[in-house]
Amino acid sequence: MIHITDDHFVWLDVTDKCNAKLNAYNYADELFATHELYEVTEEGRDSLIEEVELIKPAIVRGSRICIEVGHLPKKYHPKKTWKDTDKELINGYWYVKMADIN
């Protein structure tokens, strides 16, 4: 799931994956080995998780476990940009008149 903080930073929320176990397979270990994981609080503060053992306590505190994605563009307009545009779906691709885009 995508999580966007108030400062328009985008995170990939992997909390559910860190909680999941399939046939004793621990996804948290794999994610920790392949990505830098961050604890992101409800207030939007983030901190790097330096040990895999710190994942479960972070989840218990109510924080999200996330992977960095990046900043949104400065002129980001959530949902407003496409609201009143004329859109048409052709062969699985959406087409929009350029004059309708803000």
pTM, to two decimals: 0.67
According to the model, what pLDDT value does residue 99 have? 58
According to the model, what pLDDT value does residue 21 have? 66
The residue that leads in pLDDT, 20 or 56, is 56
Q: Which residues pair with 3 in a beta bridge?
A: 11
Kindly list the distances between the CA atom of residue 47 and the CA atoms of 32, 37, 62, 93, in Å, as whole numbers in the listed order: 14, 9, 14, 39
Quick: pLDDT tens for 41-52. Answer: 998 899 999 998
CA distance 7 to 38: 16
